[in-house]
Structure 1
């Protein structure tokens, strides 16, 4: 929201911007903003961004969904303008913070930092699940929704280490796709914990929950960090939103990437091909991820030498995330001291 920074300027305040997506996605949007100002045609812009040296080798399908359709007017046009517009006054902020860490996206971080000073402060995950420097820091913030999770935890406790597939999508599926996911989970033979909102349960195959009760549990909500941190969880099937991606990376959980829209395709590309901590599903010609594909991807993560390799990579990134979190406390101390210097004169000005 660039207008917030503009308002701060009008009030004589210091302005800081926090970018909550990956640095790779930020780099894509920043470059689109710059090239649009230079009136570069969309078709040339797409090719230029996908081959940008600070990013992994991207196909058009790996770019954020708002970007993929920019050659023609689409329902995403206004959304693209909003996300790209974040960077219209990128160089004007006093501070720029990004929810990532240097070792995770070194090339993208270094390139964006070459445009102006930025401070990676990720992974922004409660301390309890990373380095435990703050034992009571278990949630992102207060929540009005406090379900009873005892039954879910007892079920997870009863399973072997790394044997459970955790399935949770931030966005919704249509009925046919829900059925394919359901039967793919069942065909995999793995135990699974699947988060399905109450309003979505009607899309499940008839009697699926009852027929799967020996192997699977379907819940309407879960404390995701607590589930991902549980010893029995060996795979996370996700749409690859940035928060979920950082959580899985930070807790060493391999992923089956099933991106839908916005930044998810780019995150999925990095999950599968750059960090190599998971596999990415492939949709058929109708845009459906079949039950056979779901089963195959789960088995690839959970079984065999490929699964072992993915787990080793996941453990590597977990350790690097923990190191980054330790270093992040130095950044927080810097911010605390800097904030005191910044806000003290501002407070005295408004108190007059």
Structure 2
């Protein structure tokens, strides 16, 4: 597994200090429960994390599982989706939409409670200003790392919570399918840094090739006879015993 600085361990990035012990205890309990399991099923695939699966052969990766058979309905989510963006997305040129960048159309998912004290009037006015080229919705499919790998989407990483720093490490240092934003000396990520990295991610041929290779590996793994498909069948047989 890729090296990770201790400051980026999940319990050190769990929001308010009071949440850190809770996340640490959760990880500890999960590790204790793992030792009792005959097998562990994971939403990943062998080509994505070969070092991790060599270290933990008891894990059966059966992913990436991100949608139904038609790749239309997301799985593993409980809040209602805002499908209003799909028609707008279909009308944009391929690989042209980001979230968010100057001078490019963007899709921005903004939860109603995403920032304490934010004025709804401000958000409504902002949406009116960018409505011609961009779209804001309350919730849609998250561009999680497995959904992105399955569909060949590069990442611009800006982690801030728990295991997102581990995701960034894989994306930027192992798979090399994206870049990370870098804050300035004052800790602020500038709009120039953000827009510049967006252009680099979208214009880098090497990133595009690696994204395509990871996408193909993900699709092979879940196809009939692929490693994840075989593991799923193995898990089914274990349930029958």
**Pair in the same fold by TM > 0.5:** yes
In structure 2, C-alpha distance between the alignment counterparts of 1:143 and 1:198, rounded to whole Å: 16
Q: Aligned to 1:202, which of 109, 116, 119?
A: 119
Deviation string 1:145-188 (CA, Å, 9 cap, x unpaired) is: 36452xx23322222111111x3xxxxxxxxxxxxx6xxx23xx
Structural mapping, 1:265-344, within 5 Å? 265-303=165-203, 307-326=204-223, 327=226, 328-341=228-241
Number of matched residues?
232
8 Å CA contact 2:9–2:162 kept in 1: the answer is: yes
Which fold has the larger relative contact order, with Cα–Cα distance below 8 Å and residues 6 or more apart in sequence? Answer: 2
Residue in 1 that maps onto 2:67: 126
Unaligned runs of at least 5 residues, structure 1 = 1-54, 129-134, 168-180, 225-235, 237-243, 342-352
Match of 1:87 in 2: 31
Q: Relative to structure 1, is the Cα distance of residues 311 and 215 closer, same or farther in structure 2, using a 3 angstrom cutoff?
A: same
Out of 29, 40, 44, the residue aligned to residue 96 of structure 1 is 40
Counterparts of 1:252 and 1:137 in 2: how far apart (Å)? Answer: 16
Q: Is the 8 A contact 1:64 1:261 kept in 2?
A: no
What is the rounded CA distance, in whole Å, between the counterparts of 2:182 and 2:79 in structure 1? 37
Distance in 2 (CA, whole Å) between partners of 1:293 and 1:263 is 23
Question: Residues of 2 paired with 1:285 and 1:121: CA distance?
Answer: 42
Q: Which has the larger Rg?
A: 1
Q: 1:119 to 1:144 in 2, by over 3 A?
A: closer
Measure, in 2, the Cα distance between the counterparts of 1:192 and 1:75.
Answer: 33
Cα distance, 1:258 vs structure 2: 0.8
Please say if 1:258 is aligned against 2:158.
Answer: yes
Tell me the SS of whatever aligns to 1:93. Answer: coil
Asked if structure 2 preserves the Cα contact closer than 8 Å seen for 1:64 and 1:264, the reply is no
Residues 145, 311 of structure 1: CA spacing in aligned structure 2 closer, same or farther, 3 A cutoff?
A: same
Q: Which residue number in structure 2 is paired with residue 11 of structure 1?
A: none
Q: Distance in 1 between matches of 2:213 and 2:28?
A: 33
CA drift at 1:271: 0.6
With over 3 angstroms needed to count, the CA separation of the structure-2 counterparts of 1:282 and 1:60, relative to structure 1, is: farther
Instruction: Indicate the RMSD between aligned Cα atoms, in angstroms.
Output: 2.7
Aligned to 1:57: 3
Distance 1:148 1:102, change over 3 A: closer
